[in-house]
Amino acid sequence: MNKNEKTVSLMLIPYVLFLIVFVVLPLLVVIYYGFTDQQGNISFSNFINFFGNTRTVGTMVYSFGIAIITTVICLLLGYPVAYILAKGSYARKHAFLMIFVLPMWINFTLRITALKEILTMVEGNIALHPFFNTIVCMVYDFLPFMIMPLFNSIAKLDDSLTEAGRDLGATGAQVFFKIVIPLTIPGIVSAITMVFLPAMTNYVVLDMVYNSTYIMGSLIGSYFNAYDWNNGSVISAILLIMIAVLTVISNRIMRGKDDQNR
């Protein structure tokens, strides 16, 4: 037993090292730079810089807007697809799923470039609709990340529960909204986190479709380009806090669901 424990702890070493070098240390560096000034004194000036400037706050609102709209559209498109794939009686269910997930295997700049050409064909001058094009490309880029967790969650759903609902006289809509959706909430939550956070920072998409307005990711990049580690880091820290809050909330929701199920 003792020997077993020893080997287990020995095997943990690489993972612990990995965590320290690639997770903990960078995080500490970000926090250090975020809450010090150029001279290295502890200070909240970067924090005040960010929230005190209506433009940078404007960019936060703009990033939120893009992320929310992208997530909602992905969810509206992705859920029916995931449901049909998971519950439909197709012989080649997994082949269909693969077709939807296939774009994930192609380099994403390549995909966006192709989509950009299509948009140019349709719209003529794509610089006239930067916001619309950003959303189209974001949705296209993140849809597979939405479908996968939803598919897994819906596939695990016990059919006897929906059958019972129907036997007891519920309409199709009632079964869907009162049984299927509540039981797949964990899948929905993880799908949303998969899409929402990257959509807030994926500025490469904006660059590629000629949207010259900064989102959070490009703002960080611009500070780093000007050797301003402090102001760049504080924004990373702010994003990090948002991710943490979002994760806590989603965990609450999931735990709540688990309790109900019991």
Partner 1 sequence: MKNKLIISAILLSALALTGCDKKEDVLTLKVANWEEYIDLGDWGEDETIELDNGKVILGEQSMVDDFEDWYFENYGERIKVDYSTFGTNEDLYNQITLGDVYDLVCPSEYMITKLAREELLEKYDESFYDSEDELNYYSRGVSPYISSVFSNLKLRDASLDRYAAGYMWGTLGIVYNPELITEEEAAHWSLLTDKHHYKQITVKDSVRDAYFAGLAMNRSAELLSPAFVNDPDYHEKLTEALNSTDPEIVEQVQDILTRVKENVYSFETDAGKADMVTGKIAANQQWSGDAVYIMQQAAQEGLSLRYSAPEEGTNLWFDGWVMLKKGINGDERKKQAAQAFVNFISMPENAVRNMYYIGYTSVIAGGDDDTIYQYINYNYAGEDEAECVPHRIGYFFGDEADEEDRYTVYAEKDSDEFYQLDAQYPTKEVIDRSVVMACFEEEDNVRINRMWTNIRCFDLRRLFML
Summarize as ranges the residues that interact with partner 1 (CB under 8 A).
53-59, 61-62, 120, 125, 127-128, 207-208, 210-214, 218-219, 222-228
Judging by beta carbons within 10 Å of its beta carbon (0-12, 13-18, 19+), is residue 117 exposed, middle or buried?
exposed
Residue closer to partner 1, measured from CB, 190 or 213: 213
CB of 116 closer than 8 Å to CB of 108: no
**Beta strand ranges found along the chain (DSSP E):** none
Q: How far is the CB of 17 from partner 1 (least distance, A)?
A: 22
CB of 195 closer than 8 Å to CB of 142: yes
Residue closer to partner 1, measured from CB, 184 or 211: 211
Q: How far is the CB of 233 from partner 1 (least distance, A)?
A: 14
Q: How far is the CB of 59 from partner 1 (least distance, A)?
A: 4
Residue closer to partner 1, measured from CB, 47 or 224: 224
Q: How far is the CB of 74 from partner 1 (least distance, A)?
A: 22
Q: How far is the CB of 213 from partner 1 (least distance, A)?
A: 5
CB of 153 closer than 8 Å to CB of 184: yes
Quickly count: other Cβ atoms within 10 Å of residue 218's Cβ.
20
Q: Rounded to whole angstroms, how far apart are CA atoms 77 and 74?
A: 5
* Among candidate residues 8, 23, 21, the one with its CA nearest the CA of residue 240: 23
Residue closer to partner 1, measured from CB, 112 or 237: 112
Q: Rounded to whole angstroms, how far apart are CA atoms 148 and 85?
A: 11
Give the list of residues 6+ apart from residue 154 with CB closer than 8 angstroms, or none.
82, 83, 86, 87, 180, 184, 187
Residue 210: DSSP 8-state = T
The helix/strand/coil state of 171 is: coil
Residue closer to partner 1, measured from CB, 112 or 183: 112
Q: How far is the CB of 154 from partner 1 (least distance, A)?
A: 36
Q: How far is the CB of 20 from partner 1 (least distance, A)?
A: 20
Which tokens is 246 given? Answer: 């979002």
Residue 105: DSSP 8-state = G
Residue closer to partner 1, measured from CB, 4 or 54: 54
Which tokens is 262 given? Answer: 């019991």
